[in-house]
Amino acid sequence: MAQYDVVIIGGGPGGYNAAIRAGQLGLKVACVEGRGVLGGTCLNVGCMPSKALLHASEMYDLANKDFATLGIEVAPKLNLGQMMKQKAESVTALTKGIEFLFKKNKADYVKGWGRIAGPGKVAVKGEDGAESILEAKHIVIATGSEPTPLAGVEVDQKRIVDSTGALSLPEVPKSMVVIGAGIIGLELGSVWRRLGAEVTVVEYLPRITPGMDEETAKTFQRALTKQGMKFELGAKVTAAKVGKKDVELTIEPAAGGEAKSLKADYVLLAIGRRPFTDGLGLETVGITPDKRGFIETDHFKTSAEGVWAIGDVIHGPMLAHKAEEDAVACIELIAGKAGHVDYDLVPSVVYTYPEVAWVGKTEEALKAEGVAYKAGKFPFTANSRAKINHETDGFAKVLADAKTDRILGVHIVGPQAGEMIGEYCVAMAFAAASEDIARICHPHPTRSEAGRQAAMGVEGWTMQA
């Protein structure tokens, strides 16, 4: 029987980072993954392929709509097969990269589906169906999440797809309905809208992207609407009838009222994700997930001795980079070090055009908590780099404590917002005041100056306008 210090179940961003960190710290470690390839949802059917399609479709959209403004006359022609091929090649290169890192850091990659088979034991069912047992001082559950289903709208991955199916449609839909105006719906809806589909997003709430700062979400929605995306807010889908070449959805106002029907070639269901713990043998060590399926933990420790959990299966934002932070902290705690994650500083990015990125509190959260704050805001219409590039959608907004000036939240909507937010993650980790950013020289001309100007705006001395 193979014996390990740590056996990790799941090879996504949580699991593979945990395996590499354990190897670095000299622990004997194995990572069990059943999909036949490392990287989990993020690398295989999530963050990476979606970003590959977002980048390629953005280039296509730019070539179609914006190149002429720059004096470049082209007539782009879509080659969907090639777009999908380069996506697949990038994904393969990345997953192979993780295998290399496993070897380099002496982490064993065990292929097969793992389940806990009692304290200190993980059973792995290999491709041949035979089961082997790994013995472990510590078991780390990193099994991630799966799409949340919706009654009456059954995913067949042909006409009604989830995020996985939407990454590999065989054609550009003439029309697509996206159910759920969350990050997945808007990112993948954007891909297909740019490639030519008419996209309608049906959202249960009266607003898009719950959790995002409300003013930011409104500006974001205006930008998406300008690009041709349609929104049916405050509406729920109650039934779906799949035909040969389309789907007919029944839509009702969320508050009740008359139903109407909406037809589309393809439907993308993206109403959230839920923890994935099917067949994991949690009962063999006495772990019962909570009502929503999450495993409850205290500093990654579950209720079972020697069993830890990280990433999407535990509470907190379901984000790859949060899972990575969990992974490192959890393994460091196992190794007797002081692993720690600051969950107030986990940034979020929506990789649409424009991008939306934020870190820290929204205005709504600060109001609800009764925190007195000041806001500084700067529009990209007044940023020289944005103007020169004809990319003036959006703004940067800095929220700071009214008494101490400590930065409490930053919200950016605009191209490359995801790259800009890193500066504020660092600043907030060092407990910066808005004045610290306002008095730091930033390169000119860059979009980062809009972030600085927003910080200057907290004390009312914004200069470029």
The DSSP call for residue 399 is E
DSSP string covering 20-55 = HHHHHTT--EEEEESSSSSSHHHHHHSHHHHHHHHH
The smaller minimum CB distance to ligand NAI, of residues 179 and 195, is found at: 179
Sorted by sequence, the CB contacts under 8 Å of residue 59 that are 6+ apart come out as none
Q: Which residue from 259, 255, 268 is spatially nearest to 229, judged by alpha carbons?
A: 268
Residues that bind ligand NAI (CB under 6 A): 150, 179-185, 187, 202-205, 210, 236-237, 270-273, 318-319, 349-351
Task: Tell the smallest beta-carbon distance from residue 312 to ligand NAI (Å).
Answer: 8
CB atoms within 10 A of CB 388: 10
Structure tokens belonging to residue 39: 């990287």
**What is the Cα–Cα distance from 106 to 116, expressed in whole angstroms?**
23
Burial 319-339 (b: 16+ CB within 10 A, else e): bbbbbbbbbbbbbbbbbeeeb
Q: At what angle do helices 80-104 and 47-65 cross, to 10 degrees?
A: 140
Residue with tokens 């759920």: 180
**What is the Cα–Cα distance from 297 to 395, expressed in whole angstroms?**
38
Q: Is 444 a catalytic residue?
A: yes
The smaller minimum CB distance to ligand NAI, of residues 7 and 150, is found at: 150
The smaller minimum CB distance to ligand NAI, of residues 181 and 341, is found at: 181
The smaller minimum CB distance to ligand NAI, of residues 24 and 164, is found at: 164
**What is the Cα–Cα distance from 387 to 369, expressed in whole angstroms?**
37
Q: Which residues pair with 240 in a beta bridge?
A: 249
80: left (phi over 0), alpha (psi -120 to 50) or beta: alpha
Task: Tell the smallest beta-carbon distance from residue 363 to ligand NAI (Å).
Answer: 19
| Contact by Cβ (8 Å): 295, 116 | no
Task: Tell the smallest beta-carbon distance from residue 453 to ligand NAI (Å).
Answer: 26
Of 315, 390, 411, 444, catalytic: 444
Q: Point out the residue whose Cβ comes nearest to ligand NAI.
A: 182
Task: Tell the smallest beta-carbon distance from residue 330 to ligand NAI (Å).
Answer: 20
Task: Tell the smallest beta-carbon distance from residue 223 to ligand NAI (Å).
Answer: 16
Task: Tell the smallest beta-carbon distance from residue 464 to ligand NAI (Å).
Answer: 30
**What is the Cα–Cα distance from 204 to 207, expressed in whole angstroms?**
8
| Contact by Cβ (8 Å): 41, 71 | no
The DSSP call for residue 153 is B
| Contact by Cβ (8 Å): 215, 363 | yes
Amino acid residing at 251: I
Task: Tell the smallest beta-carbon distance from residue 272 to ligand NAI (Å).
Answer: 4
**What is the Cα–Cα distance from 13 to 213, expressed in whole angstroms?**
27
Task: Tell the smallest beta-carbon distance from residue 204 to ligand NAI (Å).
Answer: 4
The smaller minimum CB distance to ligand NAI, of residues 349 and 407, is found at: 349
Amino acid residing at 242: V
**Residues with catalytic function:** 444
